[in-house]
Amino acid sequence: MTEANPFETLIQLAGGACLPRCLHVVAEIGVADAFDEDPQTPAQLAAKVGANPDALARVLRLLSAYGVFQVERGKVRHSPASRLLRSDHPQSMRPLARMFGLDINWKSYDEFEQSVRTGEPSSKKILPEGFWGYFAEHPDAGRIFNEAMTAKAQTQVPAVVAGYEFSPFATIADIGGGRGHLLRAVLQANPSARGVLFDLPNVIQDASGVAGDRLTLQAGDFFKDALPKADCYLIMEVIHDWGDKESQSIFEAIRRAAQPGAKLLVIEQMVPDDNLPHWSKMLDIHMLALLGGKQRTREEYTVLLRPAGFKVVQVHPTRSDVSILEAQAS
């Protein structure tokens, strides 16, 4: 195999920030929604979305070189990737593309050198109200963020339910489970189980409508309050928000509530032990810049879980981007 030209490697990386920005803008102005199966010219699309025809044509030319849309003989067609940018696609990724294009993400990288030098999130320098406080102060951005998380869950939740055998458990607790998308799906697939949704008081208040005979709600802070008793604990894309010290504290809080033999399922993107490109390695940098969190390898999770009183059993891949790390309380 021919090695990549080192100049080409560096120039693509050094000047490549325009590529995701093109995707963000195309998602924001709704280009994929402007046509379906009939090919369109860039001028036709520009008229529909309020864009400059020449500028849009050049943006689509670049995106098509990376598999987003197809540009042939002056006409634009959908590719499998661009169809996922349609708002009406069942697995639409338009909300995610819009979310990554928010100012909060890009401005954090203006100060990213600070993160590399200190290990602290660069967002601290631009967000005096904090990452989560920003969305409270900017409801339009908060709505886009929530839509992105919902879109992501549409793919991840069915994959998690299909990727693990939940039937042995009588009680399943979802720690930091938000509005209960995952727990509700697990309970629906396992009619004999009962569930407890644990999250901050304001989140639980928003989720009040999901409570029922088999699903109870418990408000609290996992750094301060006792967690529910359960046979199985779920914690999905929560640990990656936190550094090692805080993550170990969360695991210790779960272990204090868990009986010996109880299972803990850490549902995250696992960083593979190789030098190949992988989305988890990019997401890891986003977590550093925005929250001071991190994506981890199986071994890094093992190091955090062992002193907290859990033994890693195995990692279950799923058909989505997340894996299920299964641990057992010792």
Of the candidates 263, 277, 275, 272, the residue with the CA atom closest to the CA atom of residue 313: 263
Name the amino acid, one letter, at 74: G
Give the residues across from 76 on adjacent strands. Answer: 40, 71
Distance CA 182, CA 269 (A): 16
SS3 99: helix
Look at residue 4 in the predicted model and tell me its pLDDT: 76
Distance CA 43, CA 145 (A): 31
Q: Which helix (H) or strand (E) holds 282?
A: helix 279-290
Distance CA 171, CA 71 (A): 53
- Write down the catalytic residue from 24, 78, 181, 240: 240
Predicted structure pTM score: 0.92
Task: Name all contacts of 57-62 with Cβ < 8 Å and 24+ positions apart.
Answer: 59/22, 59/25, 59/26, 60/26, 60/31, 62/18, 62/19, 62/22
Q: Please indicate whether residue 240 is annotated as part of the active site.
A: yes
Name the amino acid, one letter, at 156: Q
Of the candidates 88, 81, 93, 94, the residue with the CA atom closest to the CA atom of residue 155: 93
> How far, in whole angstroms, is CA 325 from its chain's centroid?
16
φ/ψ of 291, rounded to 5, equals -130, -10
Look at residue 1 in the predicted model and tell me its pLDDT: 45
Task: Name all contacts of 303-309 with Cβ < 8 Å and 24+ positions apart.
Answer: 304/244, 304/247, 304/248, 304/251, 305/251, 305/264, 305/266, 307/248, 308/248, 308/251, 308/252, 308/254, 308/255, 309/251, 309/252, 309/255
- At CA 296, angle to CA 291 and CA 298, rounded to 5? 160
Look at residue 6 in the predicted model and tell me its pLDDT: 93
CA gyration radius, the chain: 22
Write the CB contacts of 190 (distance below 8 Å, at least 6 apart in sequence). Answer: 166, 167, 169, 172
Look at residue 136 in the predicted model and tell me its pLDDT: 86
Distance CA 149, CA 49 (A): 25
Look at residue 129 in the predicted model and tell me its pLDDT: 85
Maximum C-alpha span of the chain: 65
Look at residue 128 in the predicted model and tell me its pLDDT: 85
Look at residue 78 in the predicted model and tell me its pLDDT: 98
Contact 304, 297 (CB under 8 A): no
pLDDT in tens, 269-317: 999 999 999 999 999 999 999 999 999 999 999 999 999 999 999 999 9
Name the amino acid, one letter, at 132: W
pLDDT beneath 70, residues of the chain: 1-3
Look at residue 102 in the predicted model and tell me its pLDDT: 95
